[in-house]
Amino acid sequence: MTGLPATGAGPEVSVDLLVIGAGPTGLYGAYYAGFRGMSVAVADALPEVGGQIAALYPEKFIYDVAGFPAVRGQDLVDRLAEQAGRWNPAYLLGHGVTRLDDTGRGIVATTDAGARITAGAVLVCGGIGNFIPRELPVGSEYLGRGLRYFVPRLNELAGQDVVVVGGGDSALDWALSLEPIASSVTLVHRRTRFRAHERTVEQVHASSVRVLTPFEVEKVSGDGSVSEVVVASSDGDRISLPAQSVVAALGFIADLGPIEQWGLELRRRRILVDPTMRSSRERVFAAGDIADHDGKVSLISIGFGEAALAVNHIAALLDPARSITPGHSSDA
């Protein structure tokens, strides 16, 4: 990937198409736009590509993607990023798009990290909106130095003492996935009951994962990076745990955020689109879970088709000499 700065004054970028959202639909849209000869930038508020899959269930198997009898979430994301990488899209990760302004001949998008992207058209693939992790009440100063909210690559935590905080499916899935490769895994949850699937809870209790309930993280400490976590129970018991990594899997807040201010017609908190995936605003299209139309079904595979449909119509919009019908890829 061609990474662009996520902080500071921000870059000035000019492309044919801006894809907002680096989840599966956005990544496939970036690939397909490159296939149709467009230059592409991809902006996402999250620091990693993959969207909801990477954030919530990177290690879970997905069974409804064409061509894959079963594929792990992160493996699918990695393959999509590799596919899109053929055309070298510019990635602006950690850049939430806050404004879309018309220029008469295109759109200028502004991000909360100071970037300005000029594009002939915009394809919004924002899933169900921005995913903001619920923060751990303590230890925020260790973010990026042992504290994390995502585990896109398990091997990064191999050989470490890991404390996983949370009681949902993501927390338990990560605890189970890390058990074979980490030095130790401790699961901390503030309630006695978990919100995860019963079978997953049984697997955790049958594993070597140390389960502490009802406990909460009281303190995170270390010299430069995390080395110790202190947890406390509701009755005052305290336990000091060695830890080089803390995975805070406390869930995410989904919010349409600035999208609601872009002058787009919305229905059911989604962007209403016509049969070409065009929104009510000129040069702005949408695909995937963020898009709504009659007969809508929210599946990854349908998102891929919607992205391809949108890109083909965008190609003709940007250059009327181009056909909407792309022909066979094997002939390219």
**Token digits for 31?**
């690939």
pLDDT computed for residue 3 by the predictor = 44
Cα torsion 148, 154, 156, 162: sign = positive
Q: Which residues pair with 148 in a beta bridge?
A: 247
Answer whether CATH 3.40.50.1820 is correct for domain 135-250.
no
**Do you find a cis peptide bond into 214, omega within 30 degrees of 0?**
yes
pLDDT-derived band at 91 (thresholds 50, 70, 90) equals: very high
Q: Does residue 5 surpass a pLDDT of 90?
A: no
What confidence category does residue 11 fall into, taking pLDDT thresholds of 50, 70 and 90? confident
Q: Burial level of 325, CB count in 10 A (0-12/13-18/19+)?
A: exposed
323 is in an annotated binding site: no
Q: What's the predicted TM-score (pTM) here?
A: 0.75
Judged against a pLDDT cut of 50, whether residue 268 lies above it is answered with yes
The distance between the two most distant Cα atoms of the chain, rounded to a whole number of Å, is 72
Is 52 marked within a binding site?
A: yes
In one-letter notation, the amino acid at residue 8 is: G
Mean pLDDT to the nearest integer, 13-25: 96
In order of 1, 40, 72, 98, 242, the CA distances from 30 in angstroms are 12, 6, 21, 20, 43
Q: CA torsion, points 85, 304, 289, 90, in degrees to nearest 10?
A: 20
72-83: average pLDDT:
94
Q: What is the pLDDT of residue 1?
A: 40
Structure confidence by residue, pLDDT tens digits, 189-209: 999 999 988 999 999 999 999
What are the φ/ψ torsions at residue 122 (nearest 5 degrees)? -125, 135
Instruction: Judge whether residue 235 has pLDDT over 50.
Output: yes
In what order do the strands lie in the sheet containing 161-165?
147-148, 245-248, 161-165, 184-188, 210-212
Q: Which residues pair with 42 in a beta bridge?
A: 19, 91
Does 75 show up as a binding residue in the annotation?
no
Coil, helix or strand for 252? strand
Q: What is each CA distance from 166 to 3, 10, 212, in whole angstroms?
A: 31, 35, 11
Is 83 annotated to bind a ligand? Reply is no
Q: Name the residue with higher pLDDT: 173 or 159.
A: 159
Q: Consult the annotation and say whether 131 binds a ligand.
A: yes
pLDDT tens, position by position, 122-155: 999 988 776 678 899 999 999 999 999 888 788 9
CA separation, residue 1 to residues 8, 35, 152, 190, 237 (Å): 20, 16, 16, 39, 47
Amino acid, single-letter form, for residue 155: N
> Following DSSP, what letter does each residue of 200-227 receive, concatenated?
HHHHHHHSS-EEETTEEEEEEE-SSS--
97 assigned ligand-binding residue: yes
Quick one: which H or E segment has residue 98? Answer: strand 97-102
**Phi and psi at residue 56, to the nearest 5°:** -110, -35
Q: For the structural domain made of 2-131+253-331, what CATH number should be given?
A: 3.50.50.60
201 annotated as belonging to a binding site for a ligand: no
The full set of domain ranges for the chain reads: 2-131+253-331, 135-250
Residue 14 assigned to a binding site = no
To the nearest 10 degrees (0 to 180), the angle between helices 300-318 and 24-35 is 40
Predicted confidence (pLDDT) at residue 9 exceeds the cutoff of 70? no
State the pLDDT at residue 6. 38
